[in-house]
């Protein structure tokens, strides 16, 4: 179809119309700061409409080289039309110059004309033909509406009569808009990604609400309508795969509508919440990102990204497999659910889980009843409900009985958890076949998995054997008590000395910006260490995402900040190395001068039995997730970005080795991609100083061997008397550099070495 026939306009008619509209430019709405464009007026390049309170601007903006011009709406507070565009009119037909004109046509449609009078875009509003004096208004919600001037265009329910941009979203969902299915028209509302960062034309991905089975959920689809990511079904309080929504409940009200006319999702700002602007953005890499602009902070804050990690990719571990992201950076994240084994062990050994899992013990169910039972699988995103059944009228106990009586039912769960935890939820979802897209998620729902009941034991120990076992156990127990008495005394003495060292380290902190923080404040920031806030777990403790309260007089500039909280395991439950870890990190971080490429310690908590370290929050997590991740994650690291990261790591290590600040020279001793964190701008920050070592003046090294195999210098590993020197970090940096450039682990040495020349040649041709 030729562009001048795009919406049924004759070429001659449009030329005449555009000439008239251009002649009427003296009546342009841009002559005053207005939110209204009336019929007979027009909007040209450089002119804008601004919503009543100034939150949104409608106008023209440019993208790409050579420049392509678009009509769009953006957040005014970002001070740039290219920074936060939330709606684009002519994304399929950009203008080649600045001669575009927006006006209301004789037929009552809102139309964008190019310099030749051709329609680059139109609202195609048939209802506007009978309007006496149609007007266009940019609302404070960011919604552009075409109104009938006779009655204001809005009925008692607040529904725009003629046309609104909220019915035609592009890549952004604003409060009050919706995504989902229009059951009356057969159409719907969905977000469509841009083609790339500088091209607003429709991209490969869509984000919308669907019903797979009978329950609604949000999915990201690719160009073939294959699922890339799904939120999990709505359970009355949150989507089962996003329990983090509970932590947003003080800011937003979430609305899921299921009616004869539509199935949709929308959200709104909660009354009394801190003043802010917000959006859900589907970017060109298929990430759906919820961001908030704090009016007092004047900056965007990333609240949530879906998919959040590798386990959120659809059906990551195959049918009846379950994905566990807490192990993803070091081990294979996939496993089979209880009672199942891989269909192909060789495929799983090769890290291919697409074949899924099968039962290793058949269920016992038939005409004569069943001996099967159920096991709880807590903290999960519920499986895909495509072929499931739903009954919202029964209790969870009734659901269990119904599933047990149905030999094809393999699992069940509560459909609605509004009444409390999912163990006391209501309604019933039953799955009749393989479980698809199952993952662990902190704070998730409970799935009840059908299992064959194992046969009870029939053998008994003979009396004589029982006597011998009892006697041996008694003697062994007495011996253990004696050993325990001596061990406890030794541990107490050792622990007391370590605690003294730790206290001294805290008291002698040199950096005044590293302040102590009350345990109550940390608990409030992390929702009392809620499992829903967990973002990582390691040998020494658990890391939580937290949000410090605003307006607190003792937070020294940290109020309202998103933080990462490392809660070390209780001293009484772990070896003394935990105390050493806390002591070492406090000594180093408090005495080390701040640097852009070294993770900053913001505060610490030393209260009761708690040892807590509070760091700045890194939105993109660790480097290894990108260089060893999925093809989509790897693709985010182009050459320029990899070089930027490598330069940042080098600068951070240089800062440690030069010993700026009171800490002196610092050997990291465990430099690797997993200990390099990335902020929202891909700036690298060296992290995890629990194993680092100070070099006192005049010393050349230390003989305590610590590190990760593969990143430790060979001469240091192979020599019993080898010293840890600054050169050991240089070796580790070299391994990290090669892994970052090649995307291969250091254990794949032959392939890694063979690609060095190719990599360097590519770098020589790259332009960054």
Reported as a pLDDT band with limits 50, 70 and 90, residue 507 is very low
Cβ-Cβ contacts under 8 Å for 167 (sequence gap 6 or more): 189
Query: How many degrees, rounded to 5, is the angle at CA 573 between CA 570 and CA 575?
Result: 100
Average pLDDT for residues 177-198, to the nearest whole number? 93
Contact (CB, 8 A) for 251 and 270 = yes
pLDDT of residue 707 exceeding 80, the answer is no
Q: Is 2 exposed, middle or buried (0-12, 13-18, 19+ CB in 10 A)?
A: exposed
Domain boundaries in the chain?
A: 1-165, 169-308, 315-451, 501-617, 620-768
The tokens for 656 are 């440690």
Concatenate the DSSP letters of all residues of 337-352 into one string. Answer: PTTEEES-HHHHHTT-
Q: How far apart are CA 590 and CA 510, in angstroms?
A: 6
Calpha distance 38→135 (Å, rounded): 5
How large is the average pLDDT for residues 252-278?
A: 90
- Rounded CA separation 277/294 (Å): 7
Class at the top of the CATH hierarchy for domain 169-308: mainly beta
Is 284 a residue whose pLDDT tops 70?
yes
Mean pLDDT of 445-473: 57
CA dist., res. 644 & res. 596, Å (int): 13
C-alpha–C-alpha distance, residues 637 and 623, integer Å = 10
Q: Are strands 389-395 and 85-88 parallel, antiparallel or unpaired?
A: unpaired
Model pLDDT, residue 744? 81
Report strand pairing: 276-282 vs 288-294: antiparallel
> Which of 368, 449, 366 is CA-nearest to residue 406?
366
Strands across the sheet containing 36-38 = 36-38, 135-138, 144-147, 163-164
pLDDT band of 329, cuts 50, 70, 90:
very low
Percent of the chain surpassing pLDDT 90: 37
Which two tokens mark 760?
A: 């360097």
221-239 confidence digits (pLDDT tens): 999 999 999 999 999 999 9
- Whether the per-residue pLDDT at 733 is higher than 80: the answer is yes
Q: Which of 114, 312, 624, 670 is catalytic?
A: 670
**Mean pLDDT confidence for 558-580:** 70
CATH code for the part of the protein at 1-165: 2.90.10.10
The whole-model pTM stands at 0.59
Mean pLDDT of 546-560: 65
Of 226, 112, 89, nearest in space to 169 by CA:
89
In this predicted model, which residue has the larger pLDDT, 663 or 498? Answer: 663
Cβ pair 285, 291 in contact under 8 A: no
Q: Is the pLDDT of residue 36 over 80?
A: yes
- Tell me the HSE value of 566 on the side-chain side, using a 13 A CA sphere: 24
Highest mean pLDDT among 314-328, 509-523, 662-676, 745-759: 314-328
Please give the Cα distance from 403 to 371 (Å, whole number). 13
Instruction: Give pairs for 677-680: CB < 8 Å, separation 24+.
Output: 677/599, 677/618, 677/620, 677/621, 677/622, 677/623, 678/618, 678/619, 678/620, 678/621, 678/622, 678/623, 678/626, 678/645, 679/618, 679/619, 679/620, 680/302, 680/619, 680/620
Distances (CA, A) of 340 to 319, 337, 380, 736: 10, 6, 17, 37
The tokens describing 714, both together, are 């060979």
Rounded distance, CA 586 to CA 583, Å?
5
Greater model confidence, 9 or 416: 416
In what helix (H) or strand (E) does residue 138 lie, and over which residues does it extend?
strand 135-138
The whole-angstrom distance between residue 315's C-alpha and the CA centroid of its chain comes to: 17
Cβ contact 127:162 at 8 Å: yes
Which residues make up each annotated binding site for ATP? Answer: 566
- Encoded tokens for 345: 């062990």
Model pLDDT, residue 9: 36
Which range (176-190, 260-274, 449-463, 645-659) has the least confidence?
449-463
pLDDT given at position 18: 40
What does the alpha-carbon distance between residue 449 and residue 339 come to, in Å, rounded to a whole number?
9
DSSP 3-53: GGGTTS--HHHHHHHHHHHHHGGGG-GGGS--SEEEBTBEEETT--EE-TT
Q: What is the DSSP string of 216-244?
A: EEEEEE-TT--EEEE---B-SSSBTT-GG
Helix, strand, or coil (residue 213): coil
Instruction: Record the tokens describing residue 265, joined without a space.
Output: 């999702």
pLDDT tier at 600 (50, 70, 90 boundaries)? Answer: confident
Do the domains 1-165 and 620-768 sit in the same CATH topology, yes or no?
Answer: no
Residues listed for the chain: 768
Most distant pair of Cα atoms in the chain: their distance: 111
Mean confidence (pLDDT) of the chain: 78
Active site residue 670: yes
511 or 358, higher pLDDT: 358
Query: What is the band of 20 on the pLDDT scale with cuts at 50, 70, 90?
Result: very low
Which range among 2-16, 117-131, 188-202, 500-514 has the greatest average pLDDT? 188-202
Q: 501-617 has which CATH code?
A: 3.30.200.20
- The DSSP code sequence of 531-554 is GGGEEEE-SSEEEEEEEPPTT-TT
CATH code, 620-768: 1.10.510.10
Helix (H) or strand (E) holding 439: strand 438-440
Tell me, what's the pLDDT at 650? 93
- Position 76 pLDDT exceeds 80: yes
Residue 570 confidence class, pLDDT cut points 50, 70, 90: low
């Amino acid at each position: 179809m030729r562009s001048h026939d795009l919406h049924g306009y004759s070429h001659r008619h449009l030329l005449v119309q555009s000439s008239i509209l251009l002649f009427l430019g003296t009546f342009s709405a841009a002559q005053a700061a207005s939110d209204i464009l009336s019929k007979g007026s027009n909007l040209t390049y450089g002119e804008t409409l601004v919503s009543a309170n100034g939150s949104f601007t409608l106008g023209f903006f440019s993208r790409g080289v050579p420049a392509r011009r678009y009509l769009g709406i953006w957040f005014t507070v970002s001070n740039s039309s290219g920074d936060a565009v939330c709606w684009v009119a002519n994304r399929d037909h950009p203008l080649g110059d600045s001669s575009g004109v927006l006006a209301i046509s004789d037929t009552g449609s809102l139309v964008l004309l190019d310099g030749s009078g051709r329609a680059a875009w139109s609202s195609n509003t048939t209802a506007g033909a009978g309007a006496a004096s149609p007007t266009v208004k940019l609302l404070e919600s960011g919604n552009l509406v075409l109104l009938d001037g006779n009655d204001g265009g809005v009925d008692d329910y607040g529904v725009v009569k003629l046309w609104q941009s909220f019915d035609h979203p592009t890549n952004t969902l604003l409060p009050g808009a919706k995504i989902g299915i229009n059951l009356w028209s057969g159409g719907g509302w969905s977000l469509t990604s841009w083609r790339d960062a500088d091209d607003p034309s429709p991209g490969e991905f869509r984000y919308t609400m669907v019903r797979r089975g009978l329950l609604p959920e949000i999915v990201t689809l690719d160009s073939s309508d294959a699922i890339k990511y799904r939120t999990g079904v709505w359970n009355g309080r949150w989507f089962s795969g996003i329990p983090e929504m509970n932590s947003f409940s003080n800011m937003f009200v979430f609305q899921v509508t299921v009616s004869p006319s539509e199935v949709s999702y929308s959200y709104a700002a909660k009354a009394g919440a801190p003043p802010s602007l917000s959006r859900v953005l589907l970017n060109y890499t298929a990430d759906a990102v919820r961001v908030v602009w704090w009016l007092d902070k004047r900056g965007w804050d990333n609240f949530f990204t879906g998919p959040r990690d590798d386990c959120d990719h659809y059906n990551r571990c195959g049918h009846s497999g379950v994905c566990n992201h807490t192990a993803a950076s070091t081990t294979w994240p996939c496993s089979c659910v209880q009672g199942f084994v891989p269909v192909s062990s060789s495929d799983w050994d090769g890290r291919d889980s697409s074949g899924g899992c099968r039962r290793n013990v058949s269920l016992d169910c038939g005409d004569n009843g069943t001996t099967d039972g159920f096991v709880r699988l807590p903290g999960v995103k519920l499986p895909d409900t495509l072929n499931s059944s739903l009954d919202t009228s029964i209790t969870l106990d009734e659901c269990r009985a119904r599933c047990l009586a149905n030999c094809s039912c393999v699992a069940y769960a509560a459909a609605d958890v509004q009444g409390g935890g999912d163990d006391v939820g209501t309604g019933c979802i039953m799955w009749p076949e393989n479980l698809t897209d199952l993952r662990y998620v902190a704070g998730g729902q409970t799935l009840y998995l059908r299992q064959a009941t194992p046969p009870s034991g029939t053998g008994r120990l003979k009396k004589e054997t029982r006597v011998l076992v009892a006697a041996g156990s008694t003697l062994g127990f007495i011996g253990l008590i004696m050993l325990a008495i001596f061990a406890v005394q030794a541990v107490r003495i050792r622990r007391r000395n370590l605690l003294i060292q730790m206290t001294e380290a805290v008291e002698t902190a040199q950096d005044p910006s590293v302040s102590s923080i009350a345990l109550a404040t940390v608990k409030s920031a992390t929702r009392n260490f809620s499992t829903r806030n967990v973002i990582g777990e390691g040998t020494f403790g658990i890391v939580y995402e937290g949000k410090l309260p605003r307006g607190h007089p003792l937070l020294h500039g940290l109020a309202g900040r998103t933080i990462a909280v490392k809660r070390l395991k209780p001293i009484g439950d772990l070896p003394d190395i935990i105390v050493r870890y806390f002591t070492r990190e406090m000594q180093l971080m408090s005495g080390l001068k701040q640097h852009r490429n070294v993770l900053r310690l913001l505060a610490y908590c030393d209260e009761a039995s708690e040892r807590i370290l509070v760091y700045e929050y890194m939105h993109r997590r660790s480097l290894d997730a990108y260089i060893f991740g999925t093809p989509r994650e790897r693709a985010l690291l182009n050459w320029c970005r990899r070089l930027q990261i490598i330069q940042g790591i080098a600068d951070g290590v240089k800062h440690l080795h030069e010993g700026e600040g009171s800490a002196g020279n610092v050997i990291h001793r465990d430099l690797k991609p997993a200990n390099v964190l990335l902020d929202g701008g891909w700036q690298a920050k060296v992290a995890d100083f629990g194993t680092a070592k100070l070099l006192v003046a005049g010393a050349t090294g230390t003989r305590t061997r610590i590190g990760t195999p593969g990143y430790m210098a060979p001469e240091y590993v192979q020599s019993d008397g080898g010293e840890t020197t600054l050169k050991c970090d240089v070796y580790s940096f070299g391994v990290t550099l090669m892994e970052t450039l090649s995307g291969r682990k250091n254990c794949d040495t032959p392939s890694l070495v063979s690609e060095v020349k190719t990599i360097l040649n590519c770098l020589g041709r790259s332009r960054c």
